[in-house]
Amino acid sequence: MRILSFLVCLGCLCLPNLARGAVVDVTVTFENIAPTNSISYAPIRVGFNNGTFDSFDINTPAGPEIISVAEGGTGNAWFPAFAAADPGAVLGTVGGGPITPGATVSQTFRVDTSVNQFFTFAGMVIPSNDLFIGNDNPAGIQLFDNAGNLLVNQINQTAAAIWDAGSEEAIVANAAFLVNGNNADRVAENGVVTFDFSELSVYDGEVTGAGYTFDADLIAAGTAINRISFAATAVPEPSSAMLLGLASFGFVYSRRRRR
């Protein structure tokens, strides 16, 4: 009976406990729904987190974290800063190259919703010198509740949600994603982060790296520019099934011993 009691207790301890959250596979889908021949995006940097990492704030000078996204799209300072501020965060990228108008990209991440209930994203808007999309409130997008249920299915953005990092002058010769631009050359602007898509007019008529001619007139404040969708699937706990199987074996074994 001691074997039976021990195995049954193990099985009970390992049964899923929704009250403490759940481990899920989350598929993030990013759609560029901006008009043809308008804006594209660098790969989208994402983080599932505890809601503490804040990479930028409106009306404040941009720091190296968000500049690494806004000026070149790499996030080479954003990722280390995120990991240092929130070591348990799940970080990654959606898309592997320029996300042109009409394109859709997806990536799946495994997330423990008991510790990472919030979603953060950042991505460079191209062509530009320092325009980007992202959320400035680290706790502004709670993706999961305490039981691991998905709270947000979709995020829709218009051009009014485009940020200007205020860190680099808008100069065609230094812009990313233009045939005539060299993004390695930069002139500091020394401004602050604001909502402002008006810089896009600077690149009107320029040929992009994807081969199309950029038309700034296609973008107005209310123009739909992207959609981010989420789908979550619970991850089975194989250890629970295994231990319950062992518990059943222990029960049978115990009955045989008693005979």
Residues 232 and 137 in one domain: yes
Q: What are phi and psi of 68, to 5 degrees?
A: -65, -20
Same domain? 36 vs 156:
yes
C-beta atoms surrounding 103 within 10 Å: 16
Q: Are 130 and 45 found together in one domain?
A: yes
Q: Of 16, 134, 9, which Cα lies nearest the Cα of 66?
A: 134
Rounded Cα–Cα distance for residues 104 and 12 (Å)? 43
Q: What is the DSSP letter of 214?
A: P
pLDDT reported for residue 147: 87
Residues 30, 145: one domain? yes
Q: Are residues 174 and 220 in the same domain?
A: yes
Residues 109 and 26 in one domain: yes
Residue-level pLDDT, tens digit, the chain, 259 residues: 443 333 333 333 333 334 346 999 999 999 999 999 999 999 999 999 999 999 999 999 999 999 999 999 999 999 999 999 999 999 999 999 999 999 999 999 999 999 999 999 999 999 999 999 999 999 999 999 988 999 999 999 999 999 999 999 999 999 999 999 999 999 999 999 999 999 999 999 999 999 999 999 999 999 999 999 999 999 997 654 444 444 444 444 444 444 4
What is residue 67's three-state secondary structure? Answer: helix
Cβ atoms < 10 Å from Cβ of 46: 26
pTM: 0.85
Q: In this structure, are 125 and 232 located in the same domain?
A: yes
Cα separation, 95 vs 115, in Å, equals 25
Q: Which residues of 207-239 are buried (b: 16+ CB within 10 A; e: fewer)?
A: ebbbeeebbbebbeeebebbebbbebeeeeeee
Does 49 share its domain with 10? no
The DSSP output letter for 188 is: B
The domain in which residue 147 lies consists of 19-236
At residue 125, the pLDDT reads 98
Nearest residue to 62 (alpha-carbon basis) of 131, 127, 125: 131
What is the count of structural domains for the chain? 2
* Cβ proximity of 254 and 5 under 8 Å: no
